[in-house]
Amino acid sequence: MFILIGKVHEFDPTKRLVHPGHSSKGTENKQDEKILIASKIAMEKGYEEMMKRYASQQKHLSKRPNWVPVRTRNAEEPNELTVTNVNQTRDLFRVEGFDGGAAEQQTSKEWLRTHNIENVKLTLKDLVNKGKICRPKTNSETGKLQQHIQFEAVDINEFEYKLNLAIETYTKRIKWLLQGSKKIFGLIKGQRIAMLVDCSDANFGFGRVSGFQDSLLHLLDEQLSKKKGLYLAAFGTEIYPLWKNAMDVNCRSIEQAKEWVSSLKPRGGCNLLKALKHIYKQPDISTVLLIVGSVPDQGVNVLCEYVEQMGVGEEKQIFTVAYDCNNSHTVNALKQLAEHSGGNFHCYATASEEQIYTGTDISLLLSEIQKSQDVINKIKSMRQGLLGTALVTVMNEICNEVAKLPQSRFLPRPPGHDLPLQIDVPQFIPHTSEAWLAENGLKAKGLDLYQVLAPNAYSYREEFIPVIRKTVQSQVHQKAMAQFTWHDGSTKNIHVDMTQLFEYQKQLGATVKIFEKRIDWLSLASRKIFGTITGKSVLILVDLSLSNTNYLAHIQHSVRLLLEQQMANKEYFNIIIFGTEIKKWKPTLVRPTPENLQACWRWILDQQCSGSRDFMGGVHAALENDEEAKHNVDVDDLYLFTSGIPDQSADIVNAYLEEACAGRNLQLHAILFNVDDYDAHGAIPGRYANITKTAEVLRTLAHTTRGRFHWFRETGIIESDDIAAISLEIEKALNFSKKCALLVESVKKKYNIEEKYKNEMKALCAPPKHPALPPGTIMKALPAPKHKTMKQREDSQDQDEGPKALTWRPSSAKKSEEKLVARIRPQSAVEHRPSKDPMRKVKSTTKPQQAFFYTDNKNDIGAVYRKYPNSKSVRKNIKMCMIPDKEDQLSTKEWLRMFSLHKLKLDLNKMVSGPDCRHVSKPVRTLNKVVDARTCNIFPTVNVQGTLKHLQLLPSELKDYEEQTEKVLRRYLKRLQWLLSGSRRVFGSVVEKKIVLLLDTSGSMDPYMDELKKELASLIWDQLQRHGIKFNMIRFSKECERWKPKIVEPAEQTCHDAVKWVSTFVSNGNTCTLDALEMAFEEPDIDAIYLLTDGKPDSSTALVLHEVEKLNTDRNVIVNTISFNCDDSTANSFLKSLSKSTGGRYHHCHHTFDAHLFAHKLLTEGFVDHECANFSEFISFPAIPQQHPALPDFESDDLRLLGKEITQARRYLAQSRSYRAMYDSLRQMNDERGPPSHSCVTVGAGNKPRPLSAKP
């Protein structure tokens, strides 16, 4: 390819030169005149040459870089060994700017000296110089001559490529200038910097101080810490310097500078002229960094004149920065100051991102990008035939050859696209998912839940009994069956067989895995594109309309996979391509032999895209084929592979297919290839519809003929009838599994775990007859028991399911008790009444209750037991604790009501306080000493809440207790991690269903605004949308703004709108908390209000509490408060009072505590406290301050209650381990002392084991 550029030149007729004739007189004088003229000409030529040499010297001098003054202050003399006579300055200047380090230290003006398009020769003039001048030609229209310049296509493309690279380089430098502190203050040039900071009241207004100070600290760390010298001064009405003179940059000076920046405060006005006067008096300064955020007190002209006058002979450059200032006069003044001093100007504004591009560095780069883009536009104009006023002709000798190539040659193709097919013959005939489920589905395998439960299901019946002449309703004995809703809506009584349901669920799980494997199989290879090809005689309709030009290679590759993987086991096949024209590979269906498949693939490779989608023409060619009718070959399945709707109307197509398929076993399967939307400049199809409408039309088209619909794109399957059928079967299996779980749960509620191990019912023996009272015994009448007392006794007997523990009593206590009973009660009462002695056998006095009924055998009467006697009491074991793994959206208070240590019966103090055998020491007069009971050397003695008790829990029981406590403690830690994860870390858990969020956006929230936006987005998606919580939001600062008029459902689009509204938050103004609460109480139907703030309200806290109490008199709306990054104890106390007064919860986010690390340490250590490793170093009870790791003092209500329970569980765990260690110690002491003694071992609060009394 080459380009001819012609330019018209007009030629005037050549005029003849007329020479003056020679006169005959004054020949000698003429000779002298010639000599004078020759000498004059020679002098003029010499003068011109001299001037040219002078001009070249001046030009050479002008190219030299400006003289840089040498800094001699505090300079050291060079070492004589480093002095050389080689001049390297010219070489250093020549390579300056080419290395990366130097480029980072250069301003854009210095950097562009070596990187602009003039220097890299990418201007339009350089492009024209690449052309080759050809012989002029005559224009046929004007008759004038045209000069032609020929360009090679390689040069044009390379030139355009270099321009694009240059634009990319400029763009990268702009991005680099917008990183870190350079985005706010620009690139600071120089080695010894004096920074002047505007500390006026306007610049340090409300909400700007913290952000401004953070930016200055970032500037010190990133740029100024790399300089050699530094001088800092703040100016307002007066000047406030940090040092008297400039200081060398080191760690000490940088730390002083940071402390100085952190202590900046408003200083009145903005006296910029006084600051400039002060800084020009400072010696040894190369660059002045002037940061201004308000309007200066002086005018622009005064400041510029002063800088211009003081800058004479000075090398101080002023780099000006307009920090978040929207005043045009200030921006203009700073820009002029930078221009007069030879420095740079930079503008930063948070409200407008466009202002940052007005700075000197970035504006120069944008100007260079614009120049490069102009040259590229000129190149495009040349290719279109115009270049300014010149005529451009583009000649392409290979255009005709390129047009002959197929379109797929220009598209990216997979490797081996043109190679022959690698045919793989399938080993079985595939089926549709509907046919496959008929053989392998739940109903086919007898795994339908109703099939399984049918033999044990009994319907409710009501019949007339002739014998008793009554209508009798069927009844189920208590706990015998469970009610279950049948598939027809009726309720049936089910006998639940646990073993059967367990086996059934195992089979369900195995079947679901088979279903998932089939889904994976359907999503692989060519089945991902076409689905399963199930018919014996198959015809493929492929859409090659012009709108599919860009996807021709993909369509060809899809057909290749189909021919390789699914066509070899068919009986007949054929392929028809339809666009505007209809093309058949073969006139009729043919056998899928390897030769035919390879020939078909070669034919596919030669096809091109053209025209629109004449679907009806393709269907006519497929269904109305006379040649196939002659050979009695019918098409079983017709597969349509397309990316859009047909040219014909959907009603016409559906009516034709419905009529054509009548009486024939023919099905049309539609495959939709999801392509990107059509380009407005490309081919437009005959009929257009969006992808949703297209899918709807093709789905209807397939279902009309009992076919299947398949929709896919490059990333995967979007919709498939085959996969949908399997997914529906999986959902049915999951539903059956859930119903099984409900049945098991209903049975568990009726039967306790202990009832599985109850003894079989035995006949009760008649109670023994009481012997007659001995003579002389006076029988005193006992008062009849009250109804309430009897009821309590019956209840206690009903609840006492397990046998009670048998306790050993000393013989002395037994005898004294027998005497006391005999003295008070008669002998009969002593013998037959329950004794307090636990070693005595207790007989049950509870009689079984029977219910009588008539049988079918005339007047025969039957009986059933309705109430059984309680079993004997034995020692109670440690119960197994069951806490669900799924976290409930409940407050910690509600959660602990169900799963606290007390509710789980893991209160160790209560368990060891139960035995009646107290430690008793009595004085013996004969021995003159205090003697302990005999139980002291059998059971250890512990101090429980100030009372000495004999520990009757055995080591095995203590070990079981520790196992259950560790299990519960792990569950507590898991909930603690859950409460401190996600949005619950900041907002706590939202437990109400209708809430209003009050969000503080005052000026004090400015440093945390980005964090607040991020956490609010997490709250909306993590809790509100997931749990279906209706919500509304109100932001408040100096005024309140409501997001929606009322609370809304958490739909997906609504949540997107909420996140978008939150992203617009800007912090400013005061904190009108009371107005926000009043607006929230205007919501008619809410359960709770969540107030998030970082401090106290503007109004009185007592007033806010009083008004909230008044507003909430008849509403009972809960107000939950959230302290967001607030360390003010007064403000937090107000929030606690507000939440407590309304029954709400207080939450304070903890940023320093890592719940995952705490849980990891506790779990890896195995809940072992190092202080309890040896029995001689017991931890103290009840407080355990030395446990590690330790929980922080949570302020949040939810975290505080859970942390308290975790601490209590750890305390009980350590206490139980100490009890077990006591048994070992007691055993060792007994072994050492020999025979048993009356001594006992006690452990109190923080005490080591010690004997209570000496060995007698």
Of 707, 737, 761, the domain-final residue:
707
Residue-level pLDDT at 1125: 84
- 157 and 200 co-located in one domain: no
- 211 and 120 co-located in one domain: no
Q: Are 239 and 201 in contact (CB under 8 A)?
A: no
Residue-level pLDDT at 343: 86
**Burial of 412: CB neighbours in 10 Å, binned 0-12, 13-18, 19+:** exposed
Residue-level pLDDT at 1028: 92
Number of domains in the chain: 5
| Mean pLDDT on 47-60 | 73
Residue-level pLDDT at 267: 82
- 325 and 377 co-located in one domain: no
Which residue would you say has higher pLDDT here, 1171 or 331? 331
Q: Which H or E run contains 1067? A: none
Write the pLDDT tens digit of every residue in 571-600. Answer: 899 999 998 889 999 888 999 999 999 999
Range 33-70 burial, b when 16+ CB lie within 10 A, else e: eeeeeeeeeeeeeeeeeeeeeeeeeeeeeeeeeeeeee
pLDDT band, residue 483 (cuts 50/70/90):
confident
Residue 909 pLDDT > 70, yes or no?
yes
> Which residue do the tokens 């009689």 mark?
847
Residue 480 pLDDT > 80, yes or no?
no
Of 404, 429, 456, the domain-final residue:
404
Residue-level pLDDT at 993: 92
Write the pLDDT tens digit of every residue in 1199-1237. Answer: 889 888 888 888 888 888 888 888 878 777 777 665 544
- 212 and 144 co-located in one domain: no
Residue-level pLDDT at 1118: 92
Residue 542 pLDDT > 90, yes or no?
yes
Residue-level pLDDT at 918: 60
Residue-level pLDDT at 484: 81
Q: Are 1099 and 1071 in contact (CB under 8 A)?
A: no
Residue 560 within any structural domain of the chain: yes
| Mean pLDDT on 421-438 | 87
Q: In this structure, what CATH number is given to the domain that contains residue 991?
A: 3.40.50.410
Of 868, 903, 933, the domain-final residue:
868
- 200 and 332 co-located in one domain: yes
Residue 854 pLDDT > 70, yes or no?
no
pLDDT band, residue 418 (cuts 50/70/90):
confident
User: At 431, which amino acid appears?
Assistant: H
- Percent of the chain predicted with pLDDT > 70: 71
Concatenating the DSSP letter of every residue in 608-676 gives: ---S---HHHHHHHHH--HHHHHTT----EEEEEESS--SS-HHHHHHHHHHHTTTS--EEEEEEE--P
Which residue would you say has higher pLDDT here, 351 or 553? 553
Residue-level pLDDT at 921: 64
Residue 131 within any structural domain of the chain: yes
Residue 153 pLDDT > 70, yes or no?
yes
Write the pLDDT tens digit of every residue in 171-229. Answer: 888 888 888 888 888 888 888 889 988 888 888 876 788 888 888 888 888 888 888 88
Residue 1182 pLDDT > 70, yes or no?
no
Residue 979 within any structural domain of the chain: no
Residue-level pLDDT at 1048: 93
Residue 898 within any structural domain of the chain: no
Residue-level pLDDT at 98: 52
Residue-level pLDDT at 999: 92
- Least confident among 518-532, 762-776, 959-973: 762-776
Residue 894 within any structural domain of the chain: no
- 366 and 226 co-located in one domain: no
pLDDT band, residue 85 (cuts 50/70/90):
low
Residue 389 pLDDT > 70, yes or no?
no
Around Cβ 527, how many Cβ atoms within 10 Å? 22
The mean predicted confidence, pLDDT, of the chain is 76
Residue 80 within any structural domain of the chain: no
Q: Are 418 and 605 in contact (CB under 8 A)?
A: yes
- Of 266, 261, 263, nearest in space to 236 by CA: 266
Residue-level pLDDT at 721: 92
Q: Which H or E run contains 571? A: none
- 228 and 169 co-located in one domain: no
In SS3 terms, 827-857 reads as HHHHHHCCCCCCCCCCCCCCCCEEEEEECCC
| Mean pLDDT on 20-34 | 54
- 262 and 374 co-located in one domain: no
Q: Are 1253 and 1207 in contact (CB under 8 A)?
A: no
Residue-level pLDDT at 937: 60
Write the pLDDT tens digit of every residue in 253-288. Answer: 888 888 888 888 888 888 888 888 888 888 888 888
pLDDT band, residue 779 (cuts 50/70/90):
very low
- 1021 and 1100 co-located in one domain: yes
Residue 796 pLDDT > 50, yes or no?
no
Residue-level pLDDT at 80: 66
- Least confident among 31-35, 468-472, 870-874, 949-953: 870-874
What is the gyration radius of the CA atoms in the chain, in angstroms? 49
Residue-level pLDDT at 730: 92
Residue-level pLDDT at 627: 77
Which residue would you say has higher pLDDT here, 747 or 712? 712
Write the pLDDT tens digit of every residue in 647-680. Answer: 888 888 888 888 888 778 888 999 998 876 555 4
- Least confident among 364-368, 380-384, 427-431, 1193-1197: 380-384
Which residue would you say has higher pLDDT here, 41 or 656? 656
Q: Are 987 and 976 in contact (CB under 8 A)?
A: no
Residue 148: both structure tokens together:
């032609």
Residue 922 pLDDT > 50, yes or no?
yes
Residue-level pLDDT at 498: 81
Write the pLDDT tens digit of every residue in 1068-1116. Answer: 888 899 999 999 999 888 999 999 998 778 888 888 898 999 888 888 8
- Percent of the chain predicted with pLDDT > 90: 12
Residue 614 within any structural domain of the chain: yes
Q: Would you call 20 helix, strand, or coil by DSSP? A: coil
Residue-level pLDDT at 924: 63
- 519 and 544 co-located in one domain: no
Length of the chain measured in residues: 1256
Q: Would you call 1029 helix, strand, or coil by DSSP? A: coil
Q: Which domain holds residue 493?
A: 441-525+729-752+846-868
Residue-level pLDDT at 536: 87
User: What does the alpha-carbon distance between residue 508 and residue 523 come to, in Å, rounded to a whole number?
Assistant: 23
Residue-level pLDDT at 887: 84
- 180 and 194 co-located in one domain: no
| Mean pLDDT on 831-838 | 43
User: What does the alpha-carbon distance between residue 167 and residue 369 come to, in Å, rounded to a whole number?
Assistant: 6
Write the pLDDT tens digit of every residue in 91-131. Answer: 665 555 454 456 677 888 888 888 888 888 888 888 877 77
Instruction: List strands edge to edge, sheet with 941-944.
Output: 947-950, 941-944, 1241-1243, 1250-1251
Residue-level pLDDT at 9: 40
Residue 626 within any structural domain of the chain: yes
pLDDT winner (highest mean) among 834-843, 1107-1116, 1242-1251: 1107-1116
Residue 710 pLDDT > 90, yes or no?
yes
pLDDT band, residue 136 (cuts 50/70/90):
low
Residue-level pLDDT at 391: 42
Residue-level pLDDT at 1062: 92
Strands 390-395 and 386-387, by their bridges, are: antiparallel
| Mean pLDDT on 1005-1014 | 88
- 179 and 305 co-located in one domain: no
User: Is the sign of the CA dihedral 412, 416, 417, 418 positive or negative?
Assistant: positive
pLDDT winner (highest mean) among 140-144, 730-734, 846-850: 730-734
pLDDT band, residue 1180 (cuts 50/70/90):
very low
Q: Are 702 and 412 in contact (CB under 8 A)?
A: no
Q: Are 255 and 194 in contact (CB under 8 A)?
A: no
